[in-house]
Structure 1
Amino acid sequence: MVITLIKATIYWVAILYALAAGLYFWGEAAGKRPVLRLAWILAGTGCFSNLLLLVLRGILTGRLPLSNGSEFLLSFTWITVGLYLCLETRRQLKGVGGYVMFIAALFMLIVLMVMKGQLMETSPLMPALKSPWLSIHVLTAALAYAGFTLAAGLAAKKLFQADAGLMPDPIYRIIAAAFALLSLSIVSGAVWAEQVWGSYWTWDPKETWALITWIIYALYLHLYKKQNWQGRYACLVVMTGYLLVLFTFFGVNFLLPGLHSYAVQCINNTFVC
């Protein structure tokens, strides 16, 4: 019963996010407030359904849904959409919804096409993953990635819509918060790694690319703070940082073997963030 609900819900969430993205783009281009309102409702319904999907996954496995790629992506997407809806309500940034919801729909498509089997997987966790550091490390990473996704959506609006009229301050504040969370994720991961592998840092591909991502965002924050750096080039750096975020998760997990890919070989294509 739970597996059947999971299968149905994942399709439902993907459809809702895709429809919301299309309505956001259409409503913004045509200036139709009722369409934007409908897009918000669909996005909110998708966010709630995304949460239901995580709950169902937790019921199926008997643990928090944070231990494999599909669980992380579902959690990361849910946090992203939830944060965006709160931000839209507070700042009326409806024009950004199309970009954010498009990314959310794309992630759901990836889960369906690449990670669908993981949603039904019920194998017990490896000993290395049975640690309280798992929740800390993965949750902070998911929150950081969600913040970087919102910042990328804001930057995309500035780059592709000349009349966006969007001040850069929201981008800076979101990246500053996400950067702090990414730093916490890296530190907690290092402590966890020392307990599991006997070393805080091994220059594993995941660690290396996470560090490169951290440096790019640190550079953006430094230049913005010291030189009030903004505009097109600042947005391009934000987008570059987000591409590195995506590569750190997708590219490294699938393309670059390392300590973080041990679970891929052992638990039915399972990997963590």
Structure 2
Amino acid sequence: MANITFNATLLIYLIATLGYTIYLANRKPIVKSISFFSLGLGLFSHTITICLRSMETGHGPYTTGFEITSFFAWVIVVIFFITEWKYKIKDLGAFVIPVVFLILLYSAFQSREYSLIDESSTMFWLTMHRTLSIIGYAAFAIAFGAAVMYLIQENQVKNKKLGVMYFRMPSLEVLDNLNYKVIAIGFPLFTLGFMTGSIWNVKTDESLFSWDVMRTWPLIAVWLIYCGIFFGRLLVGWRGKKAAQGAILGFVAIIFSYFFHVV
């Protein structure tokens, strides 16, 4: 049953992706409504999928690559709905939902096998590590979408070519503010995820960090990038184009580190 709802979710997210992309071009309210409804239906189906999977495995979506990747996509959609409700940025979906679809599509090719887990104190820290990290990643995905929109707008202003897209997207100030706000939420959560991962590591092999070059160092690189963005804004006023470029670089680093750390 979980496989059926998963496939349905993937299809619905594809419809939502196409809808938000088309809406960016034609701005027809009916297209926006269909896209929003489709995404909501997809989130409902996705939630059912995760619940069914958890009932089947006896644990939450945090042990296998398939579960974690699917959960990653789910959290992005949840944060997207919160962001759209608060900021009313109608075009954000065209830059975020395709990412959701691609992430879930990737999970479709991962193994869905599972095994029973040991419900010990070490499992608690691993669960906290992965959950907090994924929520942080999802916030960074929203920042990525806002950053792409910012650079598009900034390029039009810089070149003094105010095309149709300029008048359809929010102002540079709104996009820059959104970029900062979601990173300000995501960075502390990701940091806590990093810390709980270290605690889990201590409890399992008695070392603070796993110095695996392919698994740990990419995560450190991601943390350093977002640390620079977060404190750069607070301390030296690093905002605008630099912050947007940093958010895009950070999310690319996340995809890279995610591949080696989870898969």
Q: Normalization by structure 2: what TM-score?
A: 0.88
Q: What is residue 182 of structure 1 aligned with on the other side?
A: 190
| 2:58/2:116 contact within 8 Å kept | no
Q: What is residue 244 of structure 2 aligned with on the other side?
A: 235
Q: Secondary structure at the match of 2:92?
A: helix
| 1:67/1:129 contact within 8 Å kept | no
Pick the aligned partner of 1:65 from 31, 49, 61.
61
| 2:122/2:203 contact within 8 Å kept | no
Q: Partners of 1:248 and 1:101 in 2: how far apart? A: 21
**Deviation, structure 1 residue 134:** 2.0
Q: What is residue 74 of structure 2 aligned with on the other side?
A: 78
Q: What is residue 53 of structure 1 aligned with on the other side?
A: 49
Q: Deviations over 1:194-232 (max 9, x none)?
A: 010110113223221111111111111122223322232
Percent of residue pairs identical: 25
Q: What is residue 201 of structure 2 aligned with on the other side?
A: 193
Amino acid across the alignment from 1:229: W
Q: Partners of 2:119 and 2:182 in 1: how far apart? A: 35
Q: What is residue 22 of structure 2 aligned with on the other side?
A: 26
**Deviation, structure 1 residue 236:** 1.2
Amino acid across the alignment from 2:144: A
Which residues of 2 match residues 244-255 of structure 1 at below 5 A? 244-250=253-259, 252-253=260-261
Q: What is residue 146 of structure 2 aligned with on the other side?
A: 154
Q: Secondary structure at the match of 2:86?
A: helix
**Deviation, structure 1 residue 187:** 0.5
Q: Partners of 1:138 and 1:6 in 2: how far apart? A: 22
Amino acid across the alignment from 1:147: A
| 1:136/1:188 contact within 8 Å kept | yes
Q: What is residue 132 of structure 2 aligned with on the other side?
A: 140
CA RMSD of aligned residues (A): 1.8
Q: What is residue 13 of structure 1 aligned with on the other side?
A: 9
| 1:21/1:99 contact within 8 Å kept | no
Q: Secondary structure at the match of 1:131?
A: helix
Amino acid across the alignment from 1:25: T
Q: 1:180 to 1:103 in 2, by over 3 A?
A: same
Pick the aligned partner of 1:124 from 110, 113, 116.
116
Q: Partners of 1:238 and 1:65 in 2: how far apart? A: 27
Unpaired runs of 5+ in structure 2? 157-165
Amino acid across the alignment from 1:9: T
Q: Partners of 1:69 and 1:28 in 2: how far apart? A: 33
What number of residue pairs does the alignment pair up? 246
Is 1:202 matched with 2:198?
no
Q: Normalization by structure 1: what TM-score?
A: 0.85
Q: Partners of 2:64 and 2:120 in 1: how far apart? A: 13
**Deviation, structure 1 residue 172:** 0.5
Ranges of 4+ aligned residues in structure 1 off by more than 3 Å: 126-130
Q: Deviations over 1:94-123 (max 9, x none)?
A: 21101211011101211122x0x32xx232
**Deviation, structure 1 residue 158:** 1.4
